[in-house]
C-alpha cells in the first residue's frame, strides 16, 4: 500500500511538472521560499538518505552519492539552493532514487520489512 502511495504521489508531482516552463525551475516565489529545482533536489536526496539510513542501514551507494554533490541544507539550515539544473536532470535523479527504493523493497522479505531499525533519535521500520 505504501509503495503505491509513494508512486501515486510521484505520478501527481509529474503531472504538475508537465509542460512547466524551464525558467520556472529556478524561480523563487518570495525571498525566503525555495525554487522548484531546490525542492526536487531535496526530495530525491531525502528519499535516498531515508532508503540507505533508515531502511538498508548502509552508507549511500556510490552511484547515488554521485547524484548529490550538495548537502541538503546550507549553513543557515535552509534547503540548499539549486540553480541551473534542467527539469530533465531533476526528474532523472528522482527516477534513479525511486528505482533503488523499489528494488530494495522487492528484495525484502516480510521479516526484514517489520524489523525495527534502532537509530540514535528514533526507531523505525521500513
Mean pLDDT of the chain: 93
Is residue 62 one of the residues assigned to a domain? yes
The residue range of the domain holding 88 is: 33-124
Question: pLDDT digit string (tens) for 29-66?
Answer: 777 678 999 999 999 999 999 999 999 999 999 999 99
Is residue 10 one of the residues assigned to a domain? no
Q: 52, 60 in Cβ contact below 8 A?
A: yes
User: What does the pLDDT read at residue 121?
Assistant: 95
Grid coordinates given for 37: 529545482
Question: pLDDT digit string (tens) for 12-22?
Answer: 999 999 989 99
| Number of structural domains in the chain | 1
Amino acid at each position: 500500500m505504501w509503495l503505491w502511495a509513494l508512486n501515486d504521489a510521484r505520478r501527481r508531482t509529474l503531472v504538475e511538472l508537465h509542460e512547466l516552463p524551464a525558467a520556472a525551475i529556478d524561480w523563487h516565489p518570495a525571498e525566503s521560499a525555495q525554487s522548484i529545482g531546490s525542492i526536487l533536489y531535496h526530495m530525491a536526496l531525502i528519499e535516498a538518505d531515508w532508503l540507505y539510513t533508515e531502511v538498508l542501514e548502509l552508507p549511500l551507494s556510490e552511484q547515488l552519492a554521485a547524484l548529490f554533490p550538495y548537502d541538503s541544507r546550507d549553513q543557515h539550515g535552509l534547503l540548499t539552493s539549486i540553480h541551473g539544473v534542467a527539469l530533465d536532470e531533476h526528474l532523472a535523479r528522482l527516477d534513479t532514487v525511486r528505482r533503488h527504493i523499489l528494488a530494495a523493497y522487492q528484495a525484502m522479505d516480510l521479516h526484514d520489512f517489520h524489523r525495527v531499525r534502532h537509530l540514535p533519535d528514533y526507531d523505525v521500520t521500513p
